[in-house]
Structure 1
Amino acid sequence: MSEISQCSTVTLHFSIKLSDGSVADSTHNLGKPAQFVIGDGNISENFEQHLIGLKAGDSQAIPLAAKDAFGEPNPDNIQHMDRTKFMGDANVEVGTIMAFSGPDGQEYPGIIKNISGESVTVDFNHPLAGQDVTFEVDILSVD
């Protein structure tokens, strides 16, 4: 049975738990496991290092500090936009996650943090930025 190493294709189920024990995300909810290649940049290098050496059938709880998981919040990722850009979108309220087109044509999720007069504050940091998390992984296959 092969162990996870550089360039391994890993199929796993995971749950991301916050420090209060609540589940922030889980592939179990989707009913579909995640798959990625070690070293392809899809997950943090620190998280990858915890997976190296695991085999299919292994389960592991991996605590990660915020800086090793989704990073610390970056103040540059908080933007103030003119409310007129949201006209026709009745659901502009604090807490709403919306997709915004970046200058490169990519879509980026942003969370509406504040609405003040004609100014809307949008946070483009990852929703889990700044939070310590625990990844609970169940390794399904290693190729």
Structure 2
Amino acid sequence: MKIAPKHVVSLTYDLYVKDEDGKEGLVESATEEQPLTFLFGAGQMLPKFEENLSTLSTGDPYDFQLSAVDAYGEYDEEAVANLPKEMFQGTDIPEIGSMLPLQDNNGNRFQGQVVSIAEDSVIVDLNHPMAGHELHFKGNIINVRPATDDEMSHGHAHGPDGHHHH
């Protein structure tokens, strides 16, 4: 079956990202046992990721690259925050490299990575970990099926190959 909006797609992928030396390294994968399953066209995935898959059908292999702009955006030097150490009262100061769950004034949750620790503040990089990187995806389309009415109303895949409500 061909991929189309209102269809649930299951696929395997290997995501490669180049390091500073331009060598590609595998950063994450989805296997046939644990595929990535999503409702196509529901806005859950990067738009350009879906665009690259839109001509494929069940069983098709794919291999494409997304520029940083089409993926998680260019690296933003401004997106670094100084959090006062008082925020961490009663807890340990986080280690450099650790991810902090944060929330903005609108209640949006996101993560920041601790990049350094100053005398009275913790400096956190709010860029997406993949910001500034070109992403290289390779994989296979395992399954394409029409979404159920439930899935359409909820905006995501359910069932053995989808999202579970607890």
Q: TM-score, normalised by structure 2?
A: 0.76
Note if 1:23 corresponds to 2:26.
yes
Q: Which one-letter code corresponds to 1:98 in the other structure?
A: L
Task: Extract unaligned runs of 5+ from structure 1.
Answer: none
Match of 2:161 in 1: none
Match of 1:13 in 2: 12
Match of 1:35 among 37, 57, 65: 37
Q: Deviations over 1:2-27 (max 9, x none)?
A: 11122321111212101222111112
Q: Which one-letter code corresponds to 2:6 in the other structure?
A: C
Q: Deviations over 1:21-70 (max 9, x none)?
A: 21111123xx5211112221111221111101211111111111111112
List structure 1 runs of 4+ shifted beyond 6 angstroms: none
- Answer with 1 or 2: which has the greater Rg: 2
Q: Deviations over 1:81-104 (max 9, x none)?
A: 101212343361211112123334
Partner Cα distance (2:121, 2:17) in 1: 31
Match of 2:134 in 1: 132
Classify 1:56/1:91 alpha carbon distance in 2 versus 1 (closer, same or farther; 3 Å). Answer: farther
Percent identical: 28
Correspondence 1:62-101 to 2 at 5 A: 62-90=64-92, 92-101=94-103
Match of 1:105 in 2: 107
Q: TM-score, normalised by structure 1?
A: 0.87
Please tell me the root mean square deviation across aligned C-alpha atoms, in Å.
2.0
How many aligned positions are there? 141
